[in-house]
A and B are shown apart, each in its own frame.
Chain A
Amino acid sequence: MPQTVLLVGTRKGCFLLESDGDRREWKLRGPFCEGWPVYHAVHEPMSGTIYAAAASEWHGAGVWRSSDLGETWELSSEGLAYDADGGTKVSKISGLTAAHGRVLAGVESAGVFESRDGGATWSLLSTLEGQPGRSDWNDPAQQPPGHLGLPAMLPHPDDPSRFWAVVQGIGIFETTDNGVSWAPRNRGLRADWPRPHEEIGFCVHKLVMSPVDNDRLFQQNHVGVHRSDDAGLSWTEVTEGLPSEFGFAAAAHPHDRDTYYVIPLDGLHGRTMPDGHASVWRTRDAGATWQRLDRGLPERDAYLGVLREGLAVDTYDVPGVYFGTSTGQVFASADEGESWSEIASYLPAVASVEVAVLG
């Protein structure tokens, strides 16, 4: 019987929610990582290691790892630092990606670190020097609101040297030579604000790839949902039919290249589900039309927020869909989002949800 494990990163540590292949009954373990804020926790399937990106207000940023499904944990930040004389700091590990035998960490201030020894030590891979406007990225006066970090990397499943990086408020960049050189991949995206450089200045919240068509990328942007059919060379907006153009999270169906999930939020300051009606939205035609999925979710008075890593889809034949909220609930669907149940109610604010299917 397979085991289903949700990795939930929260404001106060990492939690695991475990079930079998039916995904009906769930058991919670945690908190782990000494209650440090965990921004993203991922599972590396080859080694079975869990990695959790964290930053303590007192003790700095680091990556926790567990090779026994959370029974024991180790912390390392060895090598996870910029040169002291450069003036920039690693204040936060924002996102992790485990692929091709290594772990990539996207950090704030913007840069990518890698570990090739299972998270014991780290080294700087790239800070995307030479990209348009790069010299302004660490200038507070030139930055968009909030902190400018590099929250996500999207690996190519077949080519270890090729991956995409998202820089907050700047956009997507692709490398095909393991970070030696980069190219902006934002053509066709919309921005409702002035941009000093034509190729950058886009606010990409979450970038995903179809596992069955690696040229098919999908993103939830600050302004709209967008699809690419050429691996990011060009983008087409597919927002029409959604209740809001704003949201953070997005996820791709594991078996169908045309099916994606997003969670639209009120785009003004609230950034919670519109009208207090909790919903996940799904397209089955690559964004041409959208369907509200809300059976089992609260239909009123539910002002839930879901962050960029807060939505996940598993790999079963009938995939499960999961999301965690900034008010500490985790909701699960075992039928592609058709129906939902609340499987955790009182966690700290959830930053990330990832799912692993074991066995």
Chain B
Amino acid sequence: MADLHLPGTLPPLFAGLPRRLEIDAGTVVEVIDRLDERWPGLRDRLCEPGPALRPHIHVYVDGERAALGTTLEERSRVDVIAAISGG
């Protein structure tokens, strides 16, 4: 089970979505698939068509910058970051 940490900008958009949850997934894209199953539409908030991560959404697996295909270990920590931008 991956230890998933989400940005604070997401929970206001999806009822019941916590900032931190455990997800059973083998890759980053599977994490997003699992989230989208429980909170329909969430994939679109993190990914563009393709799919590809949105330009200002960064994902880290165990502290390393990751892509959608990055694989997870049994107890990986996954951080989804809304990159600093705007003003």
State whether A82 and B49 are in contact (beta carbons under 8 Å apart), knowing that A58-B83, A60-B54 are contacts in the complex: yes
List residues of chain B with CB within 8 A of the CB of A34.
9, 12-13
- Some 22 contacts from A to B, beta carbons below 8 A apart, are A34-B9, A34-B13, A56-B9, A57-B56, A58-B57, A59-B9, A59-B10, A59-B13, A59-B44, A59-B46, A59-B57, A59-B82, A60-B45, A60-B48, A75-B13, A76-B41, A81-B48, A81-B49, A82-B49, A84-B48, A84-B50, A89-B48
* Cβ of B57 to closest chain A Cβ, rounded Å: 6
B45 contact set on A, CB distance < 8 A: 58-60
Query: Can you name the residue of chain B whose Cβ is closest to the Cβ of A75?
Result: B13
Cβ-closest chain A residue relative to B56: A58
A58 touching B41 by the CB < 8 A rule?
A: no
Chain B residue with minimal CB distance to A37? B86
Measuring CB to CB, which residues of chain A are less than 8 angstroms from any residue of chain B? 34, 56-60, 62, 75-78, 81-84, 89
Given known A34-B9, A34-B13, A59-B13, contact A77–B56 (CB-CB < 8 A): no
| Chain A, interface SS category | loop
Question: Which A residues are in CB contact (< 8 Å) with B85?
Answer: 57-58
Are B9 and A84 in contact (CB-based, < 8 A)? no
Q: How far is the CB of B6 from chain A (nearest CB, A)?
A: 12
Q: Which residues of A contact B56 (CB under 8 A)?
A: 57-58
Q: How far is the CB of A37 from chain B (nearest CB, A)?
A: 9
Known contacts A58-B56, A81-B48; 4 further A-B pairs (Cβ under 8 A): A57-B56, A57-B86, A75-B41, A81-B44
Q: What DSSP secondary structure best describes chain B's contact surface? A: loop
Asked whether any CB of chain A lies closer than 8 Å to the CB of B18, the reply is no
B87 CB to closest chain A CB (Å) equals 9
Chain B residues, Cβ within 8 Å of A76: 41
A77–B82 touching, CB < 8 Å? no
A202 to chain B, nearest CB (A): 31
Determine the chain A residues whose CB is within 8 A of the CB of B82 once the complex forms. Answer: 58-59
CB distance from A70 to the nearest CB of B (A): 15
Are A59 and B54 closer than 8 Å at their CB atoms?
Answer: yes
Contact: B54 with A84, CB < 8 Å?
Answer: no
Q: Is the CB of A78 within 8 A of B44?
A: yes
Min CB gap A100→B, angstroms: 26
What are the interface flags for B38-61 relative to A under an 8 Å C-beta threshold, 1 for contact and 0 otherwise?
000100111011110010110000
**Contacts of A56 on B, CB cut-off 8 Å?**
9
Contacts of A75 in B (CB 8 A): 13, 41
| Residues of B contacting A59 in the complex (Cβ-Cβ under 8 angstroms) | 9-10, 13, 44-46, 54, 57, 82
List chain A residues, Cβ under 8 A from B50: 84
The answer to whether B49 and A89 touch across the interface, beta carbons within 8 angstroms, is: yes
B79 → chain A closest CB, angstroms: 14
- Which A residues touch B7, using CB under 8 A? 58
Distance in angstroms between the alpha carbons of A81 and B49 in the assembled complex: 7
Rounded to whole angstroms, the CA-CA distance of A43 and B82 in the bound complex is 31
CA distance A78 to B82 in the complex (A): 21
> Which A residues are CB-close (under 8 A) to B13?
34, 59, 75
A77 touches B49 (CB 8 A): no
Q: Name the B residues within 8 Å of A57 (CB-CB).
A: 56, 85-86
Q: Is B86 touching A77 in the complex (CB atoms < 8 A)?
A: no
Q: How distant is the Cα of A56 from the Cα of B9 in the complex, in angstroms? A: 10
Complex A-B, nearest 7 residue pairs according to Cβ-Cβ distance, in ascending order? A84-B49, A59-B45, A58-B82, A84-B50, A58-B56, A81-B49, A77-B44
